[in-house]
Copies of this chain bind each other. A is one copy, B any other.
């Protein structure tokens, strides 16, 4: 939930800008499903993932429930059942359809969901065009911004969920044709790994300045960080392959105890989308990507690792994962430098469990369920990935997933004391 120290601007021009941002984000969601059929959009590949159609509907539900229902005169829901059907986890809003059954919803159809989007979009834009009291305008602006950030989060999930679904199909269909990928075939060369040192001291951590932020990034507060070094770039596929070929997945001494149990039970032997194609192809390793099955790009950052895999790799390499505070400190210093890949490539696992900052308070009301209630048994990832929408990333952003989650574009950056 967004907390703005200063009142947001609710002047006419500001509202026009907001309307434009609204339209742009909403259209982008629809663009993401253009390469997909209604069938692709309907199926749920695992309880952790959601159908693309559900993402399209749930983000719309968010605007309808938290904004239209509150601000629109004579509000009537688009469809009474949608309130339950597309509620994700807001206990304060009432009943919700069970998460694991999101894939059963063949009706409403994709077409109907797109009509639902259109309807809510029009009503939302009409609302923004109205003259509002400053008080209402302020709250409305904050909620619309929250809704757009929320939708951008679902855009990334939509991509990773679709990728997981397609990976379950033995035909391994691509999401995008290779032609759509501009740099296909371009050989990238990873830079040499360097270590950047940081002195011990008290630093500030958390959101600062203007612009949107989630409540979990606040309050900005002080932390003492002992001296540490941070790697100049992400770990590559080639480097991770050395771990695999060194028997990394077979050596219990490299793993956390719970990680070793997971590896053994799930028979994990490589990153989620790698395929050992020695038998079928001339060259060895392939990776399923949004462009279908491709030769493993050795110089690219390794992705689709669980926390357990990232942590084991770091131990094997004689290093460790950074803490959130270390990451934020290093990224603040060198994040924008040429060649730095803090953002836009792969989410980076930290060793920090997802916990409230000192003095953290969830806002009252249902939107207060956005972040705080997930602060247990999850680990923080920092940065952003190739799938993160433009403009959505920032220094203080805290992404989080359980230690076994692998279907995000999750990699790692090494640290050492």
Contact = CB atoms under 8 A, between A and B. Distances in A.
Interface stretch (A163-171, A209-217, A335-343): A163-171
Interface string A79-110: 00100110001011000010001011111111
Interface in A35-83: 37-43, 45, 81
B224 A165 contact: no
Nearest to A108: B171
Interface residues of A, number: 68
Per assembly, the copies of the chain total 4
A76 B14 CA distance: 64
A45 B374 contact: no
| Secondary structure type dominating chain A contacts | mixed
Given A91-B252, A170-B85, A355 B353 contact: yes
Contacts of A391: none
A255 interface: yes
Contacts of A41: 39
A81 B173 CA distance: 12
Contacts of A153: none
A278 interface: no
A403 B402 CA distance: 14
B39 A256 contact: no
Contacts of A97: 170
B224 A81 contact: no
A177 interface: no
A185 interface: no
Nearest to A377: B377
Given A39-B106, A311-B376, 4 more contacts: A84-B170, A104-B168, A107-B169, A223-B223
Interface of A: 37-43, 45, 81, 84-85, 89, 91-92, 97, 101, 103-110, 165-166, 168-171, 173, 200, 202, 221-226, 228, 252-253, 255-260, 307-308, 311, 320, 323, 351-353, 355-356, 358-359, 369, 373-377, 403, 417
